[in-house]
Amino acid sequence: MLAAGLLVTLVLAPLVLGRNVPRSELLPRSQLASIPSGFSINARALVLDDHALHLTIGFPSNNAEALQATLLDVSDPSSTNYGQHLSKAEVARLASPRPDSVKAITDWLGGHGLSVESRSYSGETLTVRVPVARANAILAANFTAYTHDTTNTTMIRTLSYSLPAYLHDHVAFVYPTTQFDAPVRLGAAVELALSLRQSRPRRADSASAVPASCASSINPRCLQAIYGIPTTPATSSDNSLYVSGLGGESANPNDLQTFLAQFRPDIKHGSYASLSVAGSSDPGIPSDEGNCDTQYTVGLATNVSVTYAIAGNKSDGVTYSDLLNTVEYLLELDQPPLVVTTSYVFDEPDSYESVQMALTLCNYYAQLGLRGTSVIFASGDGGAVGGVSDGNNGCHRAPFVPSFPSTCPFVTSVGSTQGINPEVAAKFSSGGFSHIFSRPSYQDHAVNAFLQRQGNANAGQYNVSGRGYPDVATQGANFNIHSGGQAYDFTGTSASSPTFASIIALVNDRLLVAGRSPLGFLNPFLYSNASVAFNDITSGDNRDPVCGAGFNAEAGWDAVTGLGTPDFNKLLNVVTGRAVNEQLQSSAAHGLWIPKLMYTFIWTFTAGLLCGSLM
């Protein structure tokens, strides 16, 4: 009875408060059965009533299919529209929500005396500021402070909320409500012993020789040697590379100087610009992550303009709003960066409201691709099983928990390898299949081959029709970094993402100098023309160390290292159109083409026999 009485009060409240509020019942929109594991009610019992919530309301996408089809067209190397990226206004037109949705929501907010505080450039989200007590009444919610146990961050969420029935179709999500968006484990840094730091060899190896020390300790020289990354400075003033810092994390310019002096004395005055998105006044708190990400972009993408974009707030932890604020900031720029790398990942959501938000974010990454930006994410450090944010080791439950945004089909996801001769998959390298995004056609061929070899292995723990990730990999273990004046070894796909981003930025530079379009959304290109430019990783796995569940690295694409690791010169050959000729020449020189042809012949012959007819 009490509950029913309360509900009636809440339903009536808007009628009393607002003049033009339509008579419409509140209908539950999103409900969680219990507090998600890994979270608990904040023990300090914060009184929240007057606390101002910044609510973001997302509108359903009006034209997502056209937007995504256009993206695939301009990103497909065999299309005549390849590289014909869209202007800011053209993208905003494709992305703008239905006007009746916007009107319905703004009228409803106005009826409650709430005015819109800000809108995204294309208008598909808006924000309002509302005290918790009002939000509880308007949304029939119970906003409460929850603590995320492993990161000790506090977030204000509700286990359920409602909207007037007539508004449901006009809203994609309201944030923060029931999204318990905890980040997965990030890269880990281990402090190096003083002796090791001082005895670091500084031999002048030739650029092509991979120093033996790179097997256990990675610095820029290792990556340049392993992947053929040039040390010559980029020269285009139109080039740009953004590094995302979430959760208020930043980097330390002094640590970068120390790093460059040690590993890139030729560019020891290299630097990055720093800015805060979404009006955050937070100067950011330097972190190992931020230091790794800046040191392995400035230190690899020689003379490319690097910007460190800080979103969010240390006390709030890393949240979806950091992703949202960052991508909305980038889309509002007249000239968005040509490459963005982000080394923060989340568990792919499974609750309704969070999934809606993931769809919106993914659509935003498609918009950046349309503008000509390569959007690159770390694949996550939880192996195939994933889901480490709730402290569960994942062995005792199915299915595997993939990483978001890596599972968005419009970003490029980077996994990790380690070791040299051969490079092998790193066990922590997250990879697998999305439960919410279906497999994009650009990877059908590569992923089907992998799935066919899987048979019944891991059955029920992944979605065979989901988007497979990662797309590519680079080294990701034991990266030498400097942080807070100390030397550390940094390990995680967090290190791989800036490495790959730097390679793409340097390829872009050659394109820009030649007056051509930047690469933009990479995947259709990577899975077709550029697949020859990757070293296939065929050993190692991302199986759980305890229960063994996971995938193997294999010939061809696999759910640990994707297509493999990049070879800068081969990539450059592909974009300059030299790939096909050189490929033929090199296989002829090595006598490889004959066995390959014979193999094809034998296979065709046998298949013909098995089918009972020789055509």
Ligand X SMILES: *[C@@H]1O[C@H](CO)[C@@H](O)[C@H](O)[C@H]1NC(C)=O
Give me the active site residues, please: 289, 293, 494
Let me know if 591 is exposed, middle or buried by CB neighbors in 10 A (0-12, 13-18, 19+).
exposed
**In the chain, what's the furthest Cα-to-Cα distance?**
84
Nearest CB to ligand X, comparing residues 92 and 298? 298
Q: Is 394 annotated as a binding residue?
A: no
Q: Which amino acid is at 436?
A: I
Q: Is 558 annotated as a binding residue?
A: yes
Do 28 and 62 touch, CB atoms closer than 8 A?
A: no
**For the chain, how are helix, strand and coil distributed in percent, rounded to 5?**
35, 20, 45
Do 588 and 496 touch, CB atoms closer than 8 A?
A: no
Nearest CB to ligand X, comparing residues 437 and 534? 437
What's the closest the beta carbon of residue 577 comes to ligand X, in angstroms? 6
What's the closest the beta carbon of residue 74 comes to ligand X, in angstroms? 12
Separation of alpha carbons 242 and 251, rounded Å = 13
State the DSSP code for 126: E
Nearest CB to ligand X, comparing residues 221 and 439? 439
Distances in Å between the Cα of 284 and the Cα atoms of 186, 251, 252, 315, 569 are 17, 8, 10, 11, 37
What's the closest the beta carbon of residue 278 comes to ligand X, in angstroms? 9
User: Dihedral sign, CA of 157, 162, 168, 170?
Assistant: negative
Do 406 and 379 touch, CB atoms closer than 8 A?
A: yes
Do 524 and 77 touch, CB atoms closer than 8 A?
A: yes
Instruction: End-to-end CA distance of the chain: give it in Å, rounded.
Output: 78
Nearest CB to ligand X, comparing residues 438 and 441? 438
Q: Rounded to 5 degrees, what angle do the CA atoms 479, 484, 488 make?
A: 25
Nearest CB to ligand X, comparing residues 84 and 217? 84
Three-state DSSP state, 446:
helix
What's the closest the beta carbon of residue 176 comes to ligand X, in angstroms? 12
Nearest CB to ligand X, comparing residues 100 and 266? 266
Buried b (16+ CB within 10 A) or exposed e, 258-291: bbbebbbeebeebebebebbbebebebbbbbbbb
> Hey, what are 381's tokens?
């450090």
**Sites of contact with ligand X (CB under 6 A):** 41, 77-78, 82, 142, 144, 152, 233, 235, 237, 280-282, 303, 305, 313, 315-316, 435-438, 463, 465-466, 529, 574, 577
Q: Which amino acid is at 401?
A: V
Q: Is 537 annotated as a binding residue?
A: yes
Beta bridge partners of 153: 148
What's the closest the beta carbon of residue 460 comes to ligand X, in angstroms? 9
The number of helix segments (H) and strand segments (E) in the chain equals: 17, 28
Nearest CB to ligand X, comparing residues 82 and 352? 82
Report the 3 state secondary structure along 451-512.
Answer: HHHHCCCCCCCCCCCEEEECCEEEECCCEEEEECCEEEEEECHHHHHHHHHHHHHHHHHHHH
What's the closest the beta carbon of residue 162 comes to ligand X, in angstroms? 13
Separation of alpha carbons 220 and 234, rounded Å = 16
Separation of alpha carbons 360 and 364, rounded Å = 6
What's the closest the beta carbon of residue 574 comes to ligand X, in angstroms? 6
Q: How many residues does the chain have?
A: 615
Nearest CB to ligand X, comparing residues 35 and 215? 35
What's the closest the beta carbon of residue 553 comes to ligand X, in angstroms? 24
> Hey, what are 127's tokens?
């924000």
Do 226 and 212 touch, CB atoms closer than 8 A?
A: no
The Cβ of residue 82 has, within 10 Å, a number of other Cβ atoms equal to 16
Do 184 and 403 touch, CB atoms closer than 8 A?
A: yes
Nearest CB to ligand X, comparing residues 105 and 145? 145
- Binding residues for Ca(2+), by number, are 536-537, 556, 558
- Binding residues, by number, are 536-537, 556, 558
